[in-house]
Structure 1
Amino acid sequence: MSAQIQSKRLACLLSLIAVSVNIASCTAGHTEIGKVSLVGAGASFPEPLYQQWLLDYNQQNPNVKINYQAIGSSAGVQQLIQGTVDFAASDVAITAEQAANIKRGVIALPITAGSIVLAYNLSNVPSGLKLPRQVYTDIFLGKITNWNNPKIAVANPGINLPDLPIKVVHRTDGSGTTSVLTRHLNAISPEWKNKVGAGKSIEWPVGIGANGNAGVTAQIQQLPGAIGYVEYSYANRNKLRVAALENKSGNYITPTPESTAKTLEAIKLPAKNLIGFNPNPAGTQSYPIVTYTWLLTYRQYEDSVKAQELKNFVNWVLIKGQKSSLELGYIPLSKEVVVQVQAAANQIAQ
């Protein structure tokens, strides 16, 4: 074979390789088109449900990647204010003062609901220990310090309460869960209101601190005699014993999806911002500590693709994602609330 023919063949081969590379490059570039990443952060209260939603949504929409970090409601709202996330989550939505610091505006979307339970670690005491309002307030005040206290015993005849110190476990991070609990304590106890007050972060009279709902759950599991507050889903998944709390009607109510739903029926969400909460519900069968949890978005997005994908995700959650709520221990939104949230989400613009 002549050198001239070999040279032509080599040139032809190199040309084919170059074409192949160009085609591969174009194909790879085309594949990347349409991929969207969204980042959110905030409340640990709904985090198990969020993770399930994100997993299911990504399987159905592989070009959309949504990451959510449970860093507490306070930190999530702060990141939204700073513009370092695409959305946030908070169990107490957002205050007017905080919203005023967000130049792009903010929309609060109630996305699911649940109860805050008092979980305890008493090996010989079954779930459903009755705690009167004054008793659980005094436990958090540090005034009742042992499980065989007469005030606990009188509400639970027939139960052999241990002679064991009560170890209160509370949140250390800025927490919407803490805010919901302490707003309830404010509503039922003038002493608590005057001495401690309500907020995402408070000075606890007694107790051991832990980070997030997961951290409080872990501490309760590890400490005999512990009692702490967590979202129902965490207690349910980790098989923690939970107390039946005295409600406004004087009935002892165990936290269940049914008793939580009873409370939600009485919470009306105002059309102007969809933010509503009742710290002391009156229903005879209502569990007393229940809240919606909110997904917070900007009203105006600089990236039109992100804005549209976030609206798509919210709509998917409202239509298809609600079935996961009940499975994980949360409460699906009513049809009325779904319609309200859809209308609010449609205001997201770019």
Structure 2
Amino acid sequence: MVAAVIGFGSAEAADISGAGATFPYPIYAKWADTYKKETGNGLNYQSIGSGGGIKQIQARTVTFGASDAPLKPEQLEKDGLVQFPTVMGGVVPVVNLPGIKPGEITLDGQTLADIYQGKITSWDDAAIKKLNPDVNLPSTAIAVVHRSDGSGTSFIFTTYLSQVSKSWGDDVGAATAVEWPTGLGAKGNEGVSAGVTQTVGSIGYVEYAYAAQNNMTFTKLINKDGQTVSPEVPNFMAAAESADWANTPGYYIILTNEPGAKSWPITAATFILIPKQPKDDADAAEALKFFSWAYAKGDAAAAELHYIPMPDAVVENIKATWAKDIKGADGKPLYVEAK
């Protein structure tokens, strides 16, 4: 599937270039459209997957990279990058089973891992039936769909599977790209959404905005506290409640399998990567203006698309990081808070 691209801009306006994660593409597209109308400045964002975004910012071919898999502080230091979260959201299993409604099927982590390891191959398997005694499950073969590209969504998903399944952790592990034991690959959240929609009996995993926008059949999950939960913004928020952003170097926080009765177990933040010493000062300054605007004016749009805005205190901390760490060729901060 062709990567999704936001292309709002003209030769006369200041255009910001970015590339990476497909997880936040719906909200970045919404923000870009509104920002263009308000300021005349555009955003050219290529939704190519987190792996691609990391590579492009390391090569300095874009103003910023975007990744759902945060880089560790030592990697940020090595690459000369600043990292900060923009929004949080949930990754959800989605299925294509005629007659089954959204949220009608419940899975737990071990069963989900066994499906993705090829150990459970039919929808009427005893393990799935045990979790869904009142659902008329078909004998349809399970068609596994996973990401084919380097993906932060895959990093989140496989991190969760590694936490809940020793077999998955030992044999497959967690990464933006893994050796998938079974299934068909598709590019981007867009590709997985399309693959599941087109294949009866399939299961995939996508950022919740894609499931909601495409009216996909999501599953419920049993969380760390043993509670059955739905993918909803309050449950994403519950998973993020204990995150200590202010005291975590590089904002490196993973929100999967968090405790709490309401916590959605595959919750995540998505991140922006920008050089400490940008290739083009004006472009980097415009990118920071865009994200400052998004933090100030983009919360309602984020909520409409089922993302969680960053708390105000975290935003202030992020802006302080920009002012301290992102410098122009003259050594002065490229971001100065408007008075």
Normalising by structure 2, we get a TM-score of 0.90
1:271 shift after superposition: 4.3
**Contact 2:256–2:265 (CA under 8 A) maintained in structure 1:** yes
Rounded Cα–Cα distance in structure 1 between residues aligned with 2:233 and 2:150: 26
Structure 2: give runs of 5+ residues left out of the alignment.
1-9, 329-339
**Contact 1:118–1:243 (CA under 8 A) maintained in structure 2:** yes
* More divergent stretch after superposition (164-173 vs 143-152): 143-152
Rounded Cα–Cα distance in structure 1 between residues aligned with 2:32 and 2:120: 43
Rounded Cα–Cα distance in structure 2 between residues aligned with 1:341 and 1:38: 19
Match of 1:8 in 2: none
Match of 2:121 among 145, 149, 163: 145
Match of 1:119 among 94, 103, 106: 94
After superposition, give the CA deviation of every residue in 1:56-87 in whole Å (9 maximum; x if it has no partner).
Answer: 1111111x222000111011111111110100
Match of 1:17 in 2: none
1:100 shift after superposition: 4.3
The 5 A counterparts of 1:246-325 are 246-269=222-245, 270-325=247-302
Give the structure with the higher percent helix.
1
Could you list the runs of 4 or more consecutive aligned residues of structure 1 that deviate by over 4 angstroms after TM superposition?
Answer: none
Query: 1:131 is aligned with what amino acid?
Result: L
Is 1:164 the equivalent of 2:164?
Answer: no
**Contact 1:245–1:252 (CA under 8 A) maintained in structure 2:** yes
1:101 shift after superposition: 4.5
SS at match of 2:308: coil
Rounded Cα–Cα distance in structure 1 between residues aligned with 2:11 and 2:210: 38
1:95 shift after superposition: 3.2
1:32 shift after superposition: 7.8
Match of 1:45 in 2: 23
SS at match of 2:146: strand
Match of 1:241 among 217, 234, 239: 217
* More divergent stretch after superposition (200-209 vs 337-346): 337-346
Match of 2:183 among 194, 207, 213: 207
Query: Percent identity, aligned pairs only?
Result: 37
1:133 shift after superposition: 2.1
Is 1:133 the equivalent of 2:106?
Answer: no
Structure 1: give runs of 5+ residues left out of the alignment.
1-30
Match of 2:171 in 1: 195
SS at match of 2:139: coil
| Count of residues paired in the alignment | 316
Is 1:84 the equivalent of 2:57?
Answer: no
SS at match of 1:346: helix
SS at match of 2:274: strand
* More divergent stretch after superposition (150-159 vs 42-51): 150-159
| Larger gyration radius, structure 1 or structure 2 | 1
Rounded Cα–Cα distance in structure 1 between residues aligned with 2:257 and 2:146: 21
After superposition, give the CA deviation of every residue in 1:268-326 in whole Å (9 maximum; x if it has no partner).
Answer: 22343112113321111101000000011111224332232122111101110122111
Normalising by structure 1, we get a TM-score of 0.87
Rounded Cα–Cα distance in structure 2 between residues aligned with 1:96 and 1:285: 30
Query: 1:308 is aligned with what amino acid?
Result: A
Rounded Cα–Cα distance in structure 2 between residues aligned with 1:307 and 1:203: 36
Q: 1:82 to 1:222 in 2, by over 3 A?
A: same
1:97 shift after superposition: 5.4
Report the aligned-residue RMSD.
1.6
Rounded Cα–Cα distance in structure 2 between residues aligned with 1:268 and 1:187: 20
Rounded Cα–Cα distance in structure 2 between residues aligned with 1:97 and 1:170: 29
Rounded Cα–Cα distance in structure 2 between residues aligned with 1:207 and 1:161: 21
Query: 1:123 is aligned with what amino acid?
Result: P
Rounded Cα–Cα distance in structure 1 between residues aligned with 2:14 and 2:170: 49
Match of 2:331 in 1: none
